[in-house]
Amino acid sequence: MSHFAYQNGELHAEGVPLSRIAAAVGTPVYVYSETALTDAYRRFAGALADAGLDARVCYAMKANSNLAVVRALAACGAGADVVSGGELTRALAAGVDPAEIVFSGVGKTADEMRQAIAAGIGQFNVESIPELDRLSEVAAESSATVNVAVRVNPDVDADTHHKISTGRHHDKFGIEIDRAREVYAHAAALSGITPNAVAVHIGSQLTDLSPFRAAFIRVAALVHDLRADGHEITKLDLGGGLGIEYGHQSPPDPRDYAAIVADTVGDLGCILVFEPGRYLAGPAGVLLTEIIYIKDAETRSFAIVDAAMNDLVRPAMYDAHHEILPVREPGTDDHTHSYDIVGPVCETGDTFATQRDLPALTAGELVVIRDAGAYGAVMASGYNSRPLIAEVLVRGDSYSVVRVRQDIATMLAQESLADWQSE
């Protein structure tokens, strides 16, 4: 069930009318449903538990790293998958147990490694031999020993958008699976490193289970080989990637995903780590925006809204489809009209939807762009000197601003003229 539904003629987030949030906080604004977040977590974790798997869910914070969002998931028992010192700081601030934090990414710096070792995180996912060597050096500085998963690249095409497919041999991620045995041998000889896990992540927004199956089968074979080589492999990190509907796709149910996991790696006796991002956060958020003008051109009607590509870049960057709904509930006999929904930024790419059939829209009314809870606010920029927008979390009949709207004065305060310009 969606936690964004019409009640009394108006779209609500849980029990809160979106017009109330717009009036109090202004637009554009991201609105998240806490119940949608926690329900999604329970569906995902519950499917894994029901399949008899010993699973840990480490939320991929890159999807939405707002403190309140991370806190809501941590309160359900989620750990975190972080990819920078910044995300690690946020995870700790949100109350995530350090032992349940996994540090992923191809380019961790020595400083980030130091920070993570000091925090006592549970696992590093390492993606190259130079990174293994660096981590060993950094661990030695503090006489620490860290748990390491080598992220392998299984050469499987995730059949998703090419910019978010990560498991093909020419992608920058992981170590070719055929070289994994020599890399584990290298890792085992290093001090400060315990290579006791294997990690894989083949891409994002997967709507078909067969690439998962193909990748997990290859990982299972590798675990047998590594054990034969004398390595004690106790953990598998199977990454994230489960897709969501975006109003027009048919992604698999988490229970079918869990069945594939059980079928392919369930008998290895490993603790299984999962890193879902989009599945947990995507449907839990909308971007609420007001129509500034309706511009009727000869061949098109443009609804120009106050949100733009700098606030939500997915349509511009990946031609992503997001459903758009008016906040005022359309009547059953309302005629639809075709609109291009565009933002104010000076680029043609600043388009949220093209020739979308919607009930007749008017300037001043509110619309929402759905499924914007993942890879929305986190990917925002200040392009066109547009300040970062506010974020609001709803629970039941209450809402709370969980990030204030940035203002231009704050943006300018971080800049200055060069020394020689102000003389």
Residues written for the chain = 423
Read off the DSSP letter of residue 404. Answer: P
Residue 125's SS3 state is strand
Site residue total, ligand LLP (CB under 6 A): 22
Q: How far apart are CA 419 and CA 294, in angstroms?
A: 46
Name the residue type at position 163: K
Binding mask 151-170 for ligand LLP (x = CB under 6 A): -------------x------
- 76 given a catalytic annotation: no
Q: How far apart are CA 18 and CA 16, in angstroms?
A: 6
Stretch in the footprint of ligand LLP (CB under 6 A) among 1-9, 199-207, 227-235, 404-412: 199-207
Among 205, 264, 310, 351, binds ligand LLP (CB under 6 A): 205
Residue 181's SS3 state is helix
Binding mask 278-297 for ligand LLP (x = CB under 6 A): xx------------------
Q: How far apart are CA 197 and CA 231, in angstroms?
A: 9
Which of 41, 146, 70, 152 has the alpha carbon at shortest distance from 103?
A: 146
Give me the least distance between CB of 112 and ligand LLP, in Å please.
15
Q: Which one, 164 or 304, has the nearer CB to ligand LLP?
A: 164
Stretch in the footprint of ligand LLP (CB under 6 A) among 46-54, 224-232, 271-279, 362-370: 271-279
Give me the least distance between CB of 221 and ligand LLP, in Å please.
21
Which structure tokens are listed for 108? Answer: 């961790």
Given the residues 58, 76, 270, 346, select the one marked as catalytic: 346
Does residue 27 bind ligand LLP (CB under 6 A)? no
Does residue 235 bind ligand LLP (CB under 6 A)? no
Does residue 85 bind ligand LLP (CB under 6 A)? no
Does residue 87 bind ligand LLP (CB under 6 A)? no
The CA-based angle 21-22-23, given to 5 degrees, is 90
Give me the least distance between CB of 276 and ligand LLP, in Å please.
4
Q: Which residues pair with 165 in a beta bridge?
A: 203
Q: How far apart are CA 102 and CA 114, in angstroms?
A: 14
CA-to-CA dists, residue 123 to 47, 81, 94, 108, angstroms: 24, 10, 19, 13
Among 38, 64, 104, 310, binds ligand LLP (CB under 6 A): 104
Give me the least distance between CB of 66 and ligand LLP, in Å please.
15
Among 81, 100, 290, 350, binds ligand LLP (CB under 6 A): 81
User: Phi and psi (nearest 5°) for 213?
Assistant: -60, -45
Enzyme catalytic residues: 346
